[in-house]
Chains A and B, each alone.
Chain A
Amino acid sequence: MLERIYKAQLLCDTACKTLGRQINIMEVCGTHTVSIFRNGIRSTLPKKLKLLSGPGCPVCVTDTGYIDTVLQLAGRDDCLIATYGDMIRVPGKGGSLETKQPSDNIRIVLSSEDALQLARDNPQKTVVFVAVGFETTAPATAVAVKEAAAGAVDNFCILSGHKLVVPAMRALLAEKNHNIDAFLCPGHVSVIIGYGAFAGIVERFGRPCVVAGFEPMQIIEGLAEICRQLAEGIAELKSIYTAVVTEQGNTTAQEIIDECFEPADGYWRGLGRIEKSTLKLKDKFSQFDALKRFDITETPGEDVSGCRCGEVLCGLIEPPECELFGESCTPQAPVGPCMVSSEGACAAWFKYGRKRKRA
């Protein structure tokens, strides 16, 4: 293993020397972010190689307007809210699910299947599943909707906050002053969408895209592969997560997503409106769409004042550069979404990132 690490480090060093400037690589996925911190990977890299934490945490990028809609539904006596655990601390304008009182109609679930079961067990209530996540969780939501339709579970519906990774990457690269040299692409999402999905980014923007798994060796070797390309002045699409990721991805899962959802423009916290970047239920499933069922028009929320999550996500600043970081914004009292999830960029920094100061 050590030999592989040295080899990778050498490639990174060479790239830094060849380019003679700082190299910025964005890890798109929050699970990468956490693994990078937990394994102390930054401390093994050359100083000039900077890792940017991208918009890869589905909770981080959930818009305040969405949270406020969830809170509005949570205020109804006839609803039960089924949500993933890390969503409950995400602040909207009107507080978070965790601070909402009374909170007895909010249930934490681990899957869409659990939410559907909750609906079966509580026929007198309408269960609203807070459906967030990237392409990794979208197929499971779709399956639950299809099952609900087939089994006539009429008291089940979803509030879709599903988002798509590739449009967000495009939006970041379209920003004028972005700082991104290359992407370390997410393993889990790529299992579903296939590494071929990133081909457009490589072609159109000339940025290397390398898919890697979450083991520290995968990350280190993924970074090394990117550095090799940068040093050679080329941009290629490559997957080193060969055990599980194919070029086409999981076509069955893609078909299920396509059957239930269609891409729509949508809001990302910190990034604003991004074209065709979210998933909304197709009309034939509109009976399971919470927005339609309760006749709600979602209003895009304003971003929380002082929070620089947008810039953190875009790789323009590091979390400690935000004035609120560690002061009025901590994991106990998060201001922005990046502090909420354990994989959020600010929380990860707060938890693992503070450097030991040496005399």
Chain B
Amino acid sequence: MKTEKHDKILLAHGGGGQLSDELIRHTIQPKLKNDILAELGDSANLNLTSNSVCFTTDSYVVKPLFFNGGDIGKLAVCGTVNDLAVAGAKPIALSLALIIETGFKFELLEKILDGISRAAKENDVNIVTGDTKTVEAGAVDKIFINTAGIGERLAGVDLGFDKIAVGDKIIISGTIGDHGMTIISQREGLKFQSQLKSDCAGLAKLTCQLLQNNSGVKFMRDPTRGGLAATLNEISRATGLSIEINEAKIPVNPAVQAVADMLGFDVLNIANEGKFAAVVSPESADNCLNICKNNRLGKQAGIIGEIIETCDVPVVEIKTRIGGRRIVQMPYGSQLPRIC
């Protein structure tokens, strides 16, 4: 019905009138079908079985909107799912808010909605409430998405910085830097961008599996912006303990490493969208690693280092392949590609 008349978003599509209604009923809702959303009430009604609830929100402004391995829609679902997952929760429901500039093609919107729908299915979450606004062209960069999510904390799970102790092992669930390097190389139009693929994925199934089968997990975080370097520095700062990691043990896709080297980036600082870092007790480390490796998303997981005593100030230190050592700093600002 709408497609004959409009192939682009108009200001009226966000105005609350007939066009808004059409957009929601004919474009958005069919893609995200579920009982709660179907009610289209002002609020979603959820029946939760637990009273230990995790709640999170994040906004997504990625450029390009479509990249190898995902799109802004998939990212918006997976990112929020992952925030719940690493808090030790099983994601239940998400909200979805779209801010779209006028002139944005319906065709692209539908592709993004497909990405959202697929990711929601894969992660067993429903989009239960939402909002759409349209703004004048240029007021946003094509489309911005916000999702919020709630999840139920798994019974008996209690994660936190305060649980971390000297001797604990650090596990990364797979190769690092894939998402950030894919985005940057696609944005810069690098020739070998086709060899890179974002790791964008929802981790809740893997983290739930891990937490339900192993009681040694003490802390988890998804190393998104700022990469693994930022996550490890946060852990070190918050606990006052130091961290030692081993470069040779950190899984990195060779194509990602090659692009990072070319642009002068440090893969430790590059964003991930489908990985978590976990701090686990030393006794449980091997078992945790096995659980990860048996999951599609954790095949390349590795134990990369451990928590150590602090001598003076808490630091993250890396042992390099050639036996040297250096400090891994908290990344600052955005990285700039360099020239030679």
Are the chains A and B members of one assembly? yes
Kindly provide the distance from the CB of A279 to the nearest chain B CB, expressed in whole angstroms. Answer: 15
B323 beta carbon closer than 8 Å to chain A: yes
Task: Let me know if B338 and A342 touch, CB within 8 A.
Answer: yes
A5 beta carbon closer than 8 Å to chain B: yes
Mark contacts of A218-251 with chain B using CB atoms, 8 A cut-off: 1 yes-contact digit, 0 otherwise: 0010000000000000000000000000000000
List chain A positions with a Cβ less than 8 A from chain B.
Answer: 1-2, 5, 31, 34, 37-44, 58-59, 84-89, 108, 110, 114, 132-134, 136-137, 188, 216-217, 220, 330-332, 341-343, 350-352, 354-359
Given contacts A40-B322, A43-B325, contact A356 B340 (CB under 8 A): no
Task: Let me know if B312 and A84 touch, CB within 8 A.
Answer: no
Task: Let me know if A85 and B336 touch, CB within 8 A.
Answer: yes
Task: Let me know if A351 and B338 touch, CB within 8 A.
Answer: no
Task: Let me know if A86 and B322 touch, CB within 8 A.
Answer: no
List chain B positions with a Cβ less than 8 A from chain A.
Answer: 188-190, 264-266, 311-313, 315, 317-327, 329, 332-333, 335-340
Q: Tell me how many residue pairs across A and B have CB atoms closer than 8 Å.
A: 107
Given contacts A352-B327, A356-B312, A356-B315, contact A216 B336 (CB under 8 A): no
Within 8 Å by CB of B338, from A86, A188, A217, A350, lies A86
Closest residue of chain B to A44, judged by CB?
B324
Task: Let me know if B188 and A110 touch, CB within 8 A.
Answer: yes
Given contacts A38-B320, A110-B190, A216-B322, contact A357 B340 (CB under 8 A): no
Please indicate which of the listed interface residues B319, B323, B335 has the most CB atoms of chain A within 10 Å of its own CB.
B323
Task: Let me know if A37 and B326 touch, CB within 8 A.
Answer: yes
For A34, the chain B residues whose CB sits under 8 A away are 264
Task: Let me know if B336 and A39 touch, CB within 8 A.
Answer: no
Kindly provide the distance from the CB of A105 to the nearest chain B CB, expressed in whole angstroms. Answer: 17
Task: Let me know if A331 and B326 touch, CB within 8 A.
Answer: no
Kindly provide the distance from the CB of A325 to the nearest chain B CB, expressed in whole angstroms. Answer: 15
Within 8 Å by CB of A216, from B315, B320, B340, lies B320
Q: A59-B339, A359-B311, A359-B312 are in contact. List 15 more A-B contacts (CB 8 A).
A: A31-B340, A39-B321, A40-B318, A40-B323, A44-B322, A44-B324, A84-B337, A86-B337, A88-B336, A108-B337, A110-B189, A110-B190, A341-B338, A342-B336, A358-B312
Given contacts A59-B339, A188-B340, A357-B313, contact A41 B332 (CB under 8 A): no
Task: Let me know if A136 and B336 touch, CB within 8 A.
Answer: no
Closest residue of chain A to B318, judged by CB?
A40
For B333, the chain A residues whose CB sits under 8 A away are 331-332
